[in-house]
Amino acid sequence: MMIFFITYLLISLIISFFSFGKRISFIEALLINLLLTPVVGIISVMKADNNIITHHYTNTSICAYCNVEVTDRGSLCPICRKEMEVTIIKDGKLGVA
C-alpha cells in the first residue's frame, strides 16, 4: 500500500513539473493530480496555454544639440544634421544604448 502511495505521489510530481511555462501553476497542477487522477492532470497541463511574454521596446533617437526626439532609424538629426544618440525605451523606462 505504501509503494502505491509513493508511486502515485511521484507520478503526480513529475506531471506537475510539466506545468512550468504554462498558464497553470505548479501547485494547481499538483492539486489536480493528487485530488483527481494523474490522467486528468496530464490533460489539464497539456490543454493549458503557454505563458505570454511581451516586451515593449521603442527605439528613439534624441539629438544632443537641439533636443529633438525622433523615432526614425537615421543617425542624423533632421533639423540640425548632427549625429544623435540612440535611446531605448523599455516599458516606459529610459536607457541609453
Question: Do 7 and 43 fall within a single domain?
Answer: yes
Asked if residue 67 belongs to a domain, the reply is yes
pTM higher than 0.95: no
Question: Do 29 and 61 fall within a single domain?
Answer: no
pLDDT reading at 70 higher than 60: yes
Asked if residue 24 belongs to a domain, the reply is yes
Confidence of residue 8 (pLDDT cuts 50, 70, 90): very high
Domain count across the chain: 2
23 vs 19: CA distance, rounded Å = 8
Confidence of residue 97 (pLDDT cuts 50, 70, 90): very low
Asked if residue 52 belongs to a domain, the reply is no
Question: Do 43 and 71 fall within a single domain?
Answer: no
Question: Do 34 and 70 fall within a single domain?
Answer: no
Domain membership of residue 74 as a residue range: 57-96
Q: Quick one: pLDDT at residue 1?
A: 84
Question: Do 64 and 86 fall within a single domain?
Answer: yes
Burial 10-32 (b: 16+ CB within 10 A, else e): ebbeebbebbeebebeeebbbeb
Question: Tens digits of per-residue pLDDT, 18-50?
Answer: 888 888 889 999 999 999 999 999 989 988 888
